[in-house]
Amino acid sequence: MRSYGGESGDVRIARRRAALIDAALDLLAEPEAGGVTVRGICARAGLTPRYFYESFEGVAGLVGETYDSVIAEITEKALAGLSSGVDRRSNIAGAVGAIVGVIDSDRRKGRLIFNDMLRSPVVIAKRDESVRLFVRLTSESAVQMSGARPGPETTAAAYFRVGGMGRVLAAWIAGAIDLDRDQVGDVCTRLLLSGWPTSER
């Protein structure tokens, strides 16, 4: 591809793709978002439909990639936080702090993950996938760090924690919980550390 103004074709495509994802994040995070359209996305990104179809076959593909990009960022930073501590509590606190940090630094991402008003079939399916991912990661870390017994009880406890933490963060983003960033992270850390099923009953 030709270069224009010192910018290669691949770089231009990547820049336009990023602009479309950012525009989708804008529209999906709006509380009254009833539907995301190619026209609306392009208007928000300042691009023509030609450039939309350069990167995506349709709106579903863009919405799915937008959601995946947020989950990938949260997962990467949470795993880095999990390995940064010196003991079980600091490891969990590091992971929780990383998750809270992502959604606090860009509230659009938190609204995309937690806003129940988003009934897009793509978002619903992606949320189900992400819950299963975080349940698996939570179960694995509980077995390794907390001595939890592998099995359905630990899986159930992981679903309880992932779902509960999600609702806490959703309420916090919506302004229903009057805590600062560190305080909400501390609450979630304490709840995640408590009461795992162990091999000794």
Q: Could you read off the pLDDT of 23-59 as tens digits, one per residue? A: 999 998 875 655 688 999 999 999 999 999 999 999 9
Residue 40 confidence (pLDDT): 92
Q: What is the CATH number of the domain that holds 186?
A: 1.10.357.10
The answer to the question of residue 201 being in a domain is no
pLDDT at 198 over 80: no
pTM: 0.87
CB crowding 153-184: b at 16 or more within 10 Å, else e: ebbebbbebbeebbebbbebbeeeeeeeeeeb
Residue 2 in domain: no
Structural domains of the chain, count: 1
pLDDT tens track for 150-178: 899 999 999 999 999 999 999 999 999 99
In a domain, 1, yes or no: no
**Residue 12: its pLDDT value, please?**
86
CB 148 within 8 A of CB 157: yes
Domain extent at residue 82: 9-193
What average pLDDT is seen over the chain? 88
Residues 95, 110, 46, 42: is their CA dihedral positive or negative?
positive
Whether 198 maps to a domain, the answer reads no
- Domain membership of residue 186 (yes or no) is yes
pLDDT, residue 85, reads 81
Is 101 inside a domain boundary? yes
Query: What is the chain's Cα-based Rg?
Result: 19
Is the predicted pLDDT of residue 179 greater than 80, yes or no? yes
Q: Is residue 100 part of a domain?
A: yes
25 and 112 Cβ atoms separated by less than 8 Å: yes
Q: Mind listing the pLDDT tens digit for each residue in 103-133?
A: 999 999 999 998 777 778 899 999 999 999 9
Q: Is residue 178 part of a domain?
A: yes
Residues 130-147 have a mean pLDDT of 90
Residue 200, pLDDT score: 45
